[in-house]
């Protein structure tokens, strides 16, 4: 037989496009349209419905960037359509390739009842099935003219990312406003042919099944009269019944489809627009669940559920009903789908506390899974946090984006720094926007790396990023491949149902130890520096506010600010979303974030000040409040007292130019260029700076990645570098313990103050950059005379080691990595720490010196600033301030301690009495991360702590108040069965494994 396969396949494509799809709506009549453009920000629904609209016609332009237009569409169903299915087709000017990324709408009835959302892949509104004929139609559409930021030519700078710069030019053309008859037979024929055509294309060319489908499709096409598609569609469908009814092979891969609409809480749109995106999507998904009995939809991010509850109560009522029916599933148990690299220990814990508590309070549902499909890699401390929240599973997708190495598993145990393991699934479909295409399903089956040992995977199904969710077409396709030869078998299931099957299917999966590093988007550790600083500062202010407010509440009856702290925590957690904290959102988002962080800081400073004044009382004693978890200058952790006096610092001119700073433990030489050429540890008799090099070296690189400008830094950026060694000013500070350096470069300037404090083995580096570069990357380098094959960087509740070498492609790919408060390197008996107050990105490299002592130079470089132009063309322009410190002779304990100290500076005030700590721990390896009152308002004191040095630890925690009882709890402050600790009065002995996290709840007498 002659091979006519290509001929039939080409015929199928053309007939579908030009004849069958256009026949889905064979008859239509235009609707009357009027519009009212809201003058500013979105208005309440009642106001939009009541506004008097003006004229507009199909073909007219509408919608200034970020505007809101209220369309009123009216019409009458023709009498002759009686008994037929009728829909309104409302095309606002959609590009079907951009669901979630352009204009959208929410349809209302005249009484304000929401109907469904409109987007490029969902333009219909059901009027009746069937209609009686003669019905009056009146609908209102709240339409958002969100501009297209990520266009067909992506990553080009645009002013559209902020309403202040976007202008007023209309963005869209009103394209169609019709009533139309839906021919459901033709619609189903389209789905039949799409499913078979897509399946056929994925089968081997010599497979009998492919040819059987080809001949059935050919017969269906022969049965269609191209001049009467509607009259012959039923006959065509009958020719496909046979091939659509052949069951799947017993060995077919099994896919759990989960309805999904990954909605970025902010990205190429501001937070206020996400509120409306969520309303549109949830309205659509509840409507779809009512129409499709097998469909199940899962939505994560408790913040988004809370937005629906607050802003769209009518939609919320439908959501609650769908949840009760088991059709709409809360997923993930986090406040938002946050970044997990940069949030601090407590913040990461609170993501689960606030997320899980919301779903428990609203629905009585406890989430078993963390749901993070789009997060940019996962910190090694996360498994313990997930488990401590009462969650046992994790779903992610983004690591499929890694550029260099392909992750070796799809279902596996992920083991964190303390040994905790989480059952993890990484869907082989390689998208969190699955649309049930045959190519996607076939890819999932072929790509699944656990074949032969497991057979289940998950497919998050629906349009996402900007929302939209699952469509009726996706549901129809899934129904046809539920049990179809040649295709994986697809069934709609909840995340819990999938994980239960996967765990039973694969009881002993492989183990991956350590971070899940994404080999992409590394620059998100640096972009939008002020957003990152706002986050770090907020985290530590919240620690202080809880500590001092709890201490004052127990000691003085100070009113603990439960509601204020709850609200502020949720705001901080929201801004840790994986496109806000990473710096990858539009200018509007980051402008608002900076303002929000300023408000948070002012409010928290007020809470801290009020609590400290309540504790200190009236008087003239000079008190130092120490919120760090270690004693400082004689003041215990969590206490206030008078600081111990200490030795002096000297500043002397250096004969070769520059200055020498000395304080006893350290002697630091700063040359005439303002660079540190020596940092001598006098106790160890050891030099820190590698021979022939200089530390505190600012380095400037070109930075123009191949794509994803705010997200990516590509390895080739290192090929060119400019060392900033010219100095405009070099002077000794008037305080007698510092040196000031001023430089200028390009259009920018930098000033630094290098200082020592009396008796401390730490060189402080305060840097101010007035940054006006474009597509540049600024680093601060510390070449160290240190031989180390690995280094430690702090992560949540501990630290994680990475190699300094690049033996393998996995190691080479980690050329930019994340740390929290410190990076630490050591040889046996001597090490160096570099600590910071607000930076995350860094790189570590090593070289062997070819002359002199042939020793090893290990260079740590801190990432300070970038200047990408997409999506925010003015990224990081302006003044920035950073604090770093070089700590020679540091053990890991010193790195931990100094990292806390630089982030929690002492606070001073006058008062009448010293303040004893509310709790104390007698081992510095055990670090208290939170002291607070229990969230339930009981007055119980909650203390969270962990082993921070990476070894086993014994300690005694002592309460500074009488206690009636103590219990070990999970992160949600619920007692864990059988784990009540022993105690001797107010003394509680504890034993901890390396990096073990513990939460205690102390009930006061």
Q: Which residues contact 886 (CB under 8 A, 6 or more apart)?
A: 676, 679, 688, 695, 696, 762, 763, 765, 782, 832, 833, 834
Q: Which residues contact 366 (CB under 8 A, 6 or more apart)?
A: 333, 356, 359, 360, 390
pLDDT (mean) for 249-275: 97
- Of 530, 737, 552, the residue nearest 652 (C-alpha): 737
User: 374 an active-site residue?
Assistant: yes
- Are 474 and 436 in contact, with CB atoms under 8 Å apart? yes
* Residue of 178, 192, 374, 709 marked catalytic: 374
- Are 842 and 862 in contact, with CB atoms under 8 Å apart? yes
In the 8-state DSSP scheme, what is residue 467?
A: -
Helix (H, G, I), strand (E, B) or coil at 35: strand
pLDDT of residue 645: 78
The secondary structure of the chain in percent helix, strand, coil, rounded to multiples of 5, reads: 30, 30, 40
CB atoms within 10 A of CB 363: 16
Half-sphere exposure of 295 (CA within 13 A, CB side): 26
pLDDT of residue 475: 98
Question: Is the pLDDT confidence value at 3 over 90?
Answer: no
User: How far does Cα 709 stand from its chain's mean position?
Assistant: 17
- Are 99 and 261 in contact, with CB atoms under 8 Å apart? no
What DSSP string describes 530-556?
A: HHHHHHHHHHHHHHHHHHHHHHHHHHH
Question: Is the pLDDT confidence value at 646 over 80?
Answer: no
In tens, the pLDDT along 560-615 reads 999 999 999 999 999 999 999 999 999 999 999 999 999 999 999 999 999 999 99
pLDDT (mean) for 337-353: 98
Q: Tokens representing 56? A: 């507009």
What DSSP string describes 130-162?
A: S--S--EEEEEEEEEE---SS-SSTT---GGGS
CA distance 468 to 466: 7
Residue 632 gets the label, from left (phi > 0), alpha (psi -120 to 50) or beta, of: beta
Question: Is the pLDDT confidence value at 668 over 80?
Answer: yes
Q: Which residues contact 850 (CB under 8 A, 6 or more apart)?
A: none
Question: Is the pLDDT confidence value at 851 over 90?
Answer: no
- Are 699 and 861 in contact, with CB atoms under 8 Å apart? yes
Question: Is the pLDDT confidence value at 556 over 70?
Answer: yes
Please classify residue 120 by burial: count the beta carbons closer than 10 Å to its beta carbon, then call 0-12 exposed, 13-18 middle and 19+ buried: buried
Q: Which residue has the tokens 């960037």?
A: 65
In tens, the pLDDT along 458-486 reads 999 999 999 899 999 999 999 999 999 99
CA distance 726 to 923: 46
In tens, the pLDDT along 398-407 reads 999 999 999 9
CA distance 756 to 763: 5
User: How far does Cα 371 stand from its chain's mean position?
Assistant: 11
In tens, the pLDDT along 759-812 reads 999 999 999 999 999 999 999 999 999 999 999 999 999 999 999 999 999 999
pLDDT (mean) for 881-895: 98
Range from 209-213, 599-603, 975-979 carrying the lowest mean pLDDT: 975-979
Question: Is the pLDDT confidence value at 546 over 80?
Answer: yes
CA distance 680 to 756: 13
Helix (H, G, I), strand (E, B) or coil at 22: helix
In the 8-state DSSP scheme, what is residue 635?
A: B
CA distance 334 to 367: 9
pLDDT above 90: percentage of residues in the chain? 98
Strands 254-259 and 489-492: parallel
Residue 557 gets the label, from left (phi > 0), alpha (psi -120 to 50) or beta, of: left
Question: Is the pLDDT confidence value at 1 over 70?
Answer: no
pLDDT of residue 853: 87
How many residues comprise the chain? 1005
- Of 321, 333, 337, the residue nearest 367 (C-alpha): 333
Q: Which residue has the tokens 């002659």?
A: 2
Rg of the Cα trace of the chain?
Answer: 31
pLDDT of residue 647: 77
- Are 92 and 105 in contact, with CB atoms under 8 Å apart? yes
CB atoms within 10 A of CB 454: 23
Question: Is the pLDDT confidence value at 676 over 90?
Answer: yes
With bands split at pLDDT 50, 70 and 90, how would you rate the model's confidence at 644? confident
Q: Tokens representing 512? A: 């991956």
Question: Is the pLDDT confidence value at 55 over 90?
Answer: yes
- Of 853, 837, 954, the residue nearest 898 (C-alpha): 837
CA distance 615 to 556: 7
In tens, the pLDDT along 105-119 reads 999 999 999 999 999
With bands split at pLDDT 50, 70 and 90, how would you rate the model's confidence at 249? very high
- Of 94, 105, 99, the residue nearest 144 (C-alpha): 105
CA distance 288 to 470: 8
CA distance 526 to 591: 17
Mean pLDDT of the chain: 97
CA distance 859 to 791: 11
pLDDT (mean) for 376-392: 98
Strands 738-745 and 748-756: antiparallel
pLDDT of residue 980: 82
Q: Which residues contact 661 (CB under 8 A, 6 or more apart)?
A: 649, 650, 651, 667, 668, 670, 737, 738, 739, 754, 755, 756, 763
pLDDT (mean) for 947-961: 98
Long-range contacts for 803-807 (Cβ within 8 Å, ≥24 apart)?
A: 804/844, 804/845, 804/846, 804/858, 805/846
pLDDT of residue 852: 80
Helix (H, G, I), strand (E, B) or coil at 348: helix
């Amino acid at each position: 037989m002659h091979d006519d396969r290509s001929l039939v396949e080409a015929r199928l494509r053309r007939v579908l496009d030009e004849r069958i799809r256009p026949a889905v709506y064979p008859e239509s009549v235009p609707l009357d349209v009027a519009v009212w453009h809201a003058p500013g920000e979105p208005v309440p629904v009642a106001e939009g419905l009541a506004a008097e609209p003006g004229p507009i016609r199909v073909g007219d332009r509408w919608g200034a960037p970020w505007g809101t237009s209220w369309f009123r569409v009216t019409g009458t169903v023709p009498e002759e359509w009686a008994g037929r299915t009728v829909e309104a087709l409302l095309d606002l000017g959609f590009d079907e390739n951009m669901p979630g990324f352009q204009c959208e709408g929410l349809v209302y009835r005249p009484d304000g009842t929401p109907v469904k959302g409109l987007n490029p892949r969902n333009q219909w509104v059901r009027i009746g099935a069937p209609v009686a004929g003669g019905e009056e139609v009146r609908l209102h559409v709240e339409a958002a003219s969100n501009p297209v930021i990520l266009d067909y030519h992506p990553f080009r700078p645009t002013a559209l990312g902020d309403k202040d710069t976007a202008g007023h030019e209309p963005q869209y053309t009103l394209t169609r406003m019709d009533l139309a008859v839906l021919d459901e037979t033709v619609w189903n024929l389209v789905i039949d042919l799409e499913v078979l055509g897509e399946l056929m294309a994925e089968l081997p060319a010599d497979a009998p099944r492919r040819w059987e489908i080809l001949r059935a499709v050919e017969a269906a096409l022969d049965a269609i009269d191209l001049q009467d598609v509607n009259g012959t569609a039923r006959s065509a469908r009958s020719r496909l019944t046979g091939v659509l009814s052949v069951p799947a092979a017993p060995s077919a891969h099994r896919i759990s489809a989960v309805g999904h609409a990954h909605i970025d809480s902010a990205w190429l749109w501001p937070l206020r627009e996400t509120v409306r995106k969520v309303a549109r999507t949830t309205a659509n998904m509840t409507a779809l669940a009512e129409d499709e009995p097998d469909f199940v939809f899962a939505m994560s991010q408790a913040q988004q559920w809370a937005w629906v509850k607050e802003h769209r109560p009518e939609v919320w009522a439908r959501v609650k009903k769908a949840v009760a029916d088991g059709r709409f599933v809360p997923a993930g148990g986090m406040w938002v789908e946050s970044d997990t690299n940069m949030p601090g220990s407590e913040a990461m814990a609170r993501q689960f506390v606030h997320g899980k508590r919301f779903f428990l309070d609203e629905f009585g549902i406890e989430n078993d899974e963390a749901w993070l499909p789009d997060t940019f890699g996962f910190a090694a401390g996360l498994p313990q946090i997930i488990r401590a929240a009462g969650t046992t599973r994790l779903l992610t997708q983004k690591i499929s984006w890694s550029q260099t190495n392909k992750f070796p598993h799809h279902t596996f145990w992920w083991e964190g720094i303390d040994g905790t393991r989480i059952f993890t699934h990484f869907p082989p479909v390689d998208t969190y926007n699955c649309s049930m295409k045959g190519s996607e399903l076939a890819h999932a089956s072929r790509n699944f790396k656990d074949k032969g040992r497991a057979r289940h995977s998950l497919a998050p199904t629906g349009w996402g990023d900007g929302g939209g969710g699952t469509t009726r077409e996706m549901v129809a396709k899934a129904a046809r491949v539920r049990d179809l030869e040649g295709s994986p078998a697809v069934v709609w299931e909840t995340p819990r149902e999938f994980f239960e099957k996967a765990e039973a299917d694969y009881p002993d999966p492989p183990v991956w130890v350590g971070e899940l590093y994404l080999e992409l988007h590394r620059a998100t550790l640096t972009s939008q520096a002020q957003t990152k600083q706002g986050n770090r500062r907020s985290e530590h202010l919240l620690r202080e506010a809880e500590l001092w407010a709890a201490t004052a509440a127990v000691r003085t009856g100070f009113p603990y600010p439960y509601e204020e702290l709850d609200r502020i925590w949720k705001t901080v957690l929201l801004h840790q979303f994986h496109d806000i904290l990473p710096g990858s959102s539009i200018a509007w988002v980051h402008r608002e974030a900076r303002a929000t962080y300023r408000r948070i800081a002012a409010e928290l400073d007020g809470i801290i000040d009020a609590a400290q004044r309540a504790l200190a009382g009236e008087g003239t004693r000079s008190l130092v409040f120490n919120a760090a978890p270690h004693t400082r200058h004689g003041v215990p952790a969590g206490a206030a007292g008078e600081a111990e006096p200490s030795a002096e610092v000297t500043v002397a001119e250096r004969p070769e130019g520059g200055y020498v700073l000395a304080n006893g433990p350290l002697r630091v030489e700063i040359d005439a260029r303002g660079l540190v050429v020596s940092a001598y540890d006098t106790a160890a008799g050891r030099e820190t700076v590698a021979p022939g090099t200089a530390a505190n070296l600012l380095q400037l690189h070109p930075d123009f990645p191949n794509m994803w400008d705010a997200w990516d830094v590509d390895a080739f950026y290192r090929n060119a570098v400019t060392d900033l060694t010219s100095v405009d000013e070099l002077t000794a500070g008037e305080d007698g313990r510092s040196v000031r350096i001023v430089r200028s470069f390009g259009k920018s300037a930098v000033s630094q103050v290098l200082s020592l404090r009396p008796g401390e083995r730490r060189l402080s580096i305060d840097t101010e950059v007035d940054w006006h570069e474009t597509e540049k990357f600024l680093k601060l380098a510390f070449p160290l005379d240190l031989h180390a094959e690995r280094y430690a960087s702090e992560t949540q509740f501990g630290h994680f080691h990475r190699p300094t070498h690049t033996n393998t492609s996995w190691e080479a790919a980690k050329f930019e990595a994340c740390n929290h408060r410190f990076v630490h390197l050591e040889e046996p008996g001597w090490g160096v720490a570099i600590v910071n107050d607000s930076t995350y990105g860094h790189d570590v490299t090593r070289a062997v010196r070819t002359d002199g002592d042939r020793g090893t130079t290990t260079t740590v470089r801190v990432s300070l600033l970038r200047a990408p132009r997409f999506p925010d063309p003015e990224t990081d322009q302006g003044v920035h301030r950073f604090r770093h410190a070089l700590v020679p002779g540091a053990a890991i304990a010193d790195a931990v301690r100094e990292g806390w100290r630089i982030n929690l500076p002492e606070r001073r005030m006058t008062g009448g009495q010293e303040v004893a700590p509310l709790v104390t721990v007698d081992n510095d390896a055990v670090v208290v991360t939170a002291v607070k009152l229990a969230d339930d308002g009981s007055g119980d004191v909650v203390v969270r702590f962990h082993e921070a040095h990476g070894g086993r630890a014994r300690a005694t925690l002592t309460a500074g108040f009488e206690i009636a009882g103590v219990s070990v709890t999970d992160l949600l402050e619920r007692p864990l069965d059988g784990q009540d600790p022993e105690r001797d009065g107010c003394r509680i002995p504890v034993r901890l494994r390396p990096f073990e996290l513990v939460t205690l709840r102390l009930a006061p007498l």
